[in-house]
């Protein structure tokens, strides 16, 4: 049940233009301090996964994990996505609680 909740909330955040997707744009947001939360697919490549997590750890951005890249893409109405960043605090906080419950 929780899965659908985070997916629909992420979709809402995306429609509100508060989501950045793709490895490079996400890392840019993390660096600039814009990213409030990063959602990484568990099936991301080791290289991408490490790069994103290291950046997030360095800049103190929380990371949560989606089961698959397909789910992440589906949530924002796009093809498979490996990583997305939430750039608005309200959405980021709510999404984080859905992942940690």
18-41 burial: b if 16+ Cβ within 10 Å, else e: bbbbebeebbebbeeeebbbbbbb
pLDDT at 23: 95
Name the DSSP class of 16: T
Q: Which domains does the chain have, with CATH numbers?
A: 2-100 (3.30.1330.30)
Question: What local confidence, expressed as pLDDT, does residue 100 receive?
Answer: 76
Q: What is the residue-level pLDDT of the chain in tens, covering all 101 positions? A: 456 899 999 999 999 999 999 999 999 999 999 999 999 999 999 999 999 999 999 999 999 999 999 999 999 999 999 999 999 999 999 999 998 76
What's the CA gap between 33 and 1, in Å, rounded?
32
CA distance 97 to 49: 22
Q: Would you say how long the chain is, in residues?
A: 101
């Amino acid at each position: 049940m929780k899965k659908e909740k985070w997916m629909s909330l992420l979709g809402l955040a995306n429609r509100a233009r508060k989501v950045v997707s793709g490895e490079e744009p996400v890392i840019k947001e993390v660096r600039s301090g814009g990213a409030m939360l990063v959602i990484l697919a568990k099936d991301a490549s080791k290289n991408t996964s490490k790069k994103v997590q290291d950046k997030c750890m360095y800049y103190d951005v929380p990371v949560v994990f989606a089961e698959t890249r397909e789910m992440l893409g589906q949530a924002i109405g796009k093809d498979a996505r490996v990583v997305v960043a939430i750039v608005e605090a309200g959405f980021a906080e709510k999404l984080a609680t859905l992942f940690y419950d």
